Amino acid sequence: MDDANPISGASIPAIDRRFRLQWEAAQNAHVLLYPEGMIKLNTSAGEILKRCDGKATLADITASLEQSFGASGLSGDVFAFIAMAVEKKWVTLPS
Amino acid sequence: MGHVAVMNTQARVPGPPLWLLLELTYRCPLHCVFCYNPTDFTRTGPELSTEDWLRVLREARALGAVQLGLSGGEPLVRDDLELIVAEAHRLGFYINLITSGVGLSETRIAALKAAGLDHIQLSFQDSSKQMNDFLSSTRTFDLKSKVAALIKQYDYPMVLNVVLHRLNIDHVEEILNMADRLGAEYVELANTQYYGWAWHNRDQLMPSRAQVERAEAATKRFRERIGRPMQIYFVVPDYFERRPKPCMNGLGSIFLTVTPDGTALPCHAARMLPGLEFPNVRDSGVKHAWFDSSGFNRFRGDDWMKEPCRSCPEKARDFGGCRCQAFLMTGDAANADPVCDLSPHHHLVTEAVANAERPRPAQQPRPAEEKPLVFRTPANSATLFP
């Protein structure tokens, strides 16, 4: 499946329909909700996933993160996280 | 010595009740022999009103609850279920409906979708119509199959739940094939936990070790050949283990149940635990129950533990197991769960398992001369458990 959808700056990631991403103030974290379960995300995972709206490209997402955090050269980390998120089926990359 | 209080785990402020389970009613059209509802459920007081349930949702959400289970009994018996779902959705809960499917018409499934229901867990009792209908003492197999199709049609993620025991565990492969045919995304093969009606029927429901091993092997083979994403949870029967389950992640840690009459409990079976205050949310609200009542505080942390748990290096992993199981089997809820082979009461578990090894028909309803299975009916509840 990964071979059919190689990750590139033009990829447009979206949260898989089986998950729901939301901010939980009580946990001070983004969480991914799914049937009878929850994954508590760390700050960077939450910041990446909340930008995966099915419209922004991975290049857009990386640029937005670099701007928000005053950083550069984040694309390697972002791509690696998205690859992991696709593997875990949190995220889909519609072609 | 100021940090002694900090080291005292009882003194820690509890985190939020992340998991809220509302048992909306004990009424149920099914009569399953393995139900974990209390056997004396007919003694329960009147059900909470719609407004009470909505208030429970608001109070629990304010404390940080986020996963919501709507269960029972059969929650579809409540005709205000759509109102409850709508309010829960507005508040930001992830909403799981745990249902037998009975009463889930197309009209209601569409209304629940519009109200914001996230997911449906549908129970089957077996892959065969005969055994499904026998175990639930109803004719519901065909109806459940229709409901499964509706769940797919309305694009809900579907968890198919089958409680496993001696009478159906040999059908695991057929059950998984059925789940695949029905398009389930998740399958829970939940070995019976022995509380409530299941405790009463334990001797007849306990599988043999060979049955459990065959079922695990069949699940493994199925996982290897299935060609699409399907998550299969095989919940191992704890009687066959040497260490207890980390029940509820520790009582009062993340889980909050409200029973049909409004009693707040740290797990759905905890009402049996003696000497504890389980407040009614009608009187005092959810926050008081979670933070201030002995029912939730008694087994928080590990100060309550006795040996062998108290000095055990594994106590932070399994929290001493299940308090209800310790109470049911040993008479003292502060004892180690006897599933643990370090417990001085472990023989009670091994004897129950050994009892399941004696030869008898595995797949058929038991011969009439043996102790009968007791079905979960209001009549049985009222006469056998007054």
β-bridge partners, B208: none
What's the rounded Cα separation, in Å, for the pair B309 and B247? 14
The confidence score (pLDDT) of residue B112 equals: 98
CB of B241 within 8 A of CB of B355? no
Q: Which of residues 171-200 of B touch A (CB under 8 A)?
A: 185-186
Angle, vertex CA B263, rays to CA B272 and CA B121, nearest 5: 90
Query: Shortest CB distance from A26 goes to which of B64, B96, B159?
Result: B64
Cβ contacts of B214 within 8 Å, gap of 6 or more: B169, B170, B172
Torsion of CA B226, B229, B235, B240, to 10 degrees: 40
The confidence score (pLDDT) of residue B360 equals: 65
CB of B173 within 8 A of CB of B195? no
Q: Which residues of A touch B229 (CB under 8 A)?
A: 89
Tell whether B339 is within 8 A of chain A (Cβ): no
Residue B119 C-alpha, separation from nearest chain A C-alpha, in angstroms? 6
The confidence score (pLDDT) of residue B2 equals: 32
Q: Which residues of A touch B63 (CB under 8 A)?
A: 26
Contact B118 A31 (CB under 8 A): no
Given the DSSP bridges, would you call strands A14-15 and A91-92 parallel, antiparallel or unpaired? antiparallel
Tell whether B301 is within 8 A of chain A (Cβ): no
Mean of pLDDT values over A13-36:
95
User: Residues of chain B whose pLDDT is less than 70?
Assistant: 1-12, 228, 360-370
Residue type present at position A91: V
Contact B121 A35 (CB under 8 A): yes
Residue A25 C-alpha, separation from nearest chain B C-alpha, in angstroms? 8
Rounded to the nearest 5 percent, the helix, strand and coil shares of chain B are 40, 10, 45
Residue B157 C-alpha, separation from nearest chain A C-alpha, in angstroms? 7
Task: Name the percent of chain A lying above pLDDT 90.
Answer: 85
Neighbours of B112 (CB within 10 A): 24
Q: What is the pLDDT of residues B272-326, one digit of tens each?
A: 999 999 999 999 999 999 999 999 999 999 999 999 999 999 999 999 999 999 9
Peptide bond into B313 cis (omega under 30): no
Tell whether B17 is within 8 A of chain A (Cβ): no
Query: Shortest CB distance from A20 goes to which of B64, B94, B185?
Result: B94
Query: What ipTM is given for this predicted complex?
Result: 0.89
Q: What is the CA radius of gyration of chain B?
A: 21
Tell whether B60 is within 8 A of chain A (Cβ): no
What's the rounded Cα separation, in Å, for the pair B182 and A84? 29
Contact A38 B66 (CB under 8 A): yes
Helix (H, G, I), strand (E, B) or coil at B132: helix
**Residue of A45, A26, A40 whose CA lies nearest to B92:** A26
